C-alpha cells in the first residue's frame, strides 16, 4: 500500500523532492542550528512514511544546496543556519541584469544538453511515466492557453528530467536557473503561438528520451532554449521600441 506522503506527492514532483521539503520544515520547526544532528535515514523514513532510498535521495539534494551535511560516522547534520534555504531562494529569484540574460540562456542550453543526455541513459520506467504525465498536461494547458498551469508544467518538465539524471547537482542547477528565468518566461508566455510550439518541443524531447536517443534529445533541447531566447529578444525589442516612441512623444 502506498504511504500517505507517496499518495500526496504530486505527479509533477519526484517523491524525494517532496520529502526534501518536509525535512526543511522539520529543521525550521525544530529550531535546529548549524551542527545539530537530524534523525537517521531509517527514522526519517518512518516519520514521513517512505523508504530509506527516497530519504537518501532527498538528503543528497539538500546536501547539494548546502543546507545539510552528510558524513560517514557522523550522520546527517545541519550544515548551515536553517535560514540559509530562505536566503538561497531569495537570491535565486532576483531578476537577472538584462545585459546578462543572453549569457543565462547560453548557460541553460549547455546545462540542459548535459541533463537530457544523462536522463536518456538513467531514467527509470517510473520516472518516464511521470514525465509523460507532465508532458500530456503541458500540451493540454497549451491548447487551453492556460498560462499559469502551462508555466507550472513547463518547470515541472525540466525539473523531472533533471531529477531523472539521479545527480542532485544537476537538479539543483536546473531548478536555480528556472527560478532566475522566471520573470523572462512570464514576459513571453502567451506570445502568439508560443505555447503550442513549446509544448510540441517538450513532446519531441520526451519521445527522444523515451527512445534513448540522447543525440536527438540534446539537439531538440538546444533548439527549445534558443526558441525561448528568440521570443524574449523579440519582445524586449518591441517594448524598447514602444518606450522609445513614448519618450519621443513627450519631447
Distance of alpha carbon 237 from alpha carbon 191, whole angstroms: 14
Distance of alpha carbon 13 from alpha carbon 25, whole angstroms: 17
Distance of alpha carbon 107 from alpha carbon 202, whole angstroms: 19
In the chain, domain spans? 4-86, 93-250
- Residues 213 and 220 sit within 8 Å (Cβ to Cβ): no
pLDDT at 243: 53
Distance of alpha carbon 94 from alpha carbon 91, whole angstroms: 6
Fold of 4-86: Arc Repressor Mutant, subunit A (1.10.10)
Q: Where are the alpha helices (DSSP H) in 66-167?
A: 84-92, 101-122, 125-144, 147-163
pLDDT at 93: 39
Q: Which of 195, 214, 217, 191 is nearest to 204 (CA)?
A: 217
Q: How many other C-beta atoms can be found within 10 angstroms of the C-beta atom of residue 49?
A: 15
**pTM summary value:** 0.62
Fold of 93-250: 1.20.120
Q: 131-148 burial by CB neighbour count: b if 16+ within 10 A, else e?
A: bbbbbebbbebbeeeebe
pLDDT at 103: 83
Q: For every one of its 251 residues, what pLDDT tens digit does the chain have, with 9 covering 90 and above?
A: 344 444 344 445 678 878 888 888 888 788 888 888 999 999 999 999 999 988 988 888 787 667 788 877 778 888 864 444 444 443 443 445 566 778 888 888 999 999 999 999 999 999 999 999 999 999 999 999 898 899 889 989 999 999 999 887 788 888 888 877 776 666 666 566 788 989 999 999 999 999 999 999 999 999 999 988 888 777 767 766 665 555 444 33
Amino acid at each position: 500500500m502506498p504511504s500517505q506522503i507517496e499518495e500526496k506527492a504530486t505527479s509533477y514532483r519526484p517523491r524525494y523532492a517532496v520529502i526534501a521539503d518536509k525535512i526543511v520544515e522539520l529543521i525550521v520547526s525544530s529550531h535546529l542550528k548549524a551542527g545539530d544532528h537530524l534523525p537517521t535515514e531509517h527514522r526519517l523514513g518512518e516519520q514521513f512514511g517512505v523508504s530509506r532510498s527516497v530519504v537518501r535521495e532527498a538528503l543528497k539534494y539538500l546536501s547539494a544546496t548546502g543546507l545539510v551535511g552528510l558524513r560517514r560516522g557522523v550522520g546527517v547534520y545541519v550544515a548551515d543556519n536553517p535560514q540559509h534555504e530562505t536566503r538561497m531562494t531569495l537570491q535565486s529569484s532576483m531578476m537577472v541584469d538584462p545585459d546578462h540574460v543572453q549569457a543565462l540562456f547560453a548557460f541553460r542550453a549547455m546545462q540542459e544538453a548535459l541533463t537530457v543526455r544523462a536522463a536518456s541513459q538513467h531514467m527509470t520506467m517510473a520516472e518516464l511515466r511521470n514525465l509523460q504525465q507532465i508532458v500530456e498536461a503541458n500540451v493540454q494547458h497549451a491548447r487551453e492557453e492556460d498560462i499559469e498551469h502551462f508555466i507550472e508544467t513547463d518547470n515541472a518538465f525540466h525539473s523531472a528530467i533533471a531529477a531523472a539524471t539521479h545527480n542532485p547537482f544537476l537538479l539543483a542547477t536546473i531548478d536555480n536557473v528556472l527560478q532566475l528565468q522566471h520573470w523572462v518566461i512570464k514576459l513571453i508566455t502567451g506570445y502568439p503561438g508560443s505555447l503550442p510550439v513549446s509544448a510540441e518541443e517538450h513532446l519531441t524531447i520526451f519521445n527522444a528520451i523515451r527512445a534513448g536517443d540522447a543525440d536527438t534529445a540534446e539537439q531538440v533541447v538546444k533548439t527549445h532554449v534558443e526558441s525561448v531566447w528568440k521570443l524574449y529578444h523579440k519582445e524586449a525589442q518591441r517594448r524598447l521600441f514602444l518606450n522609445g516612441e513614448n519618450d519621443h512623444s513627450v519631447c
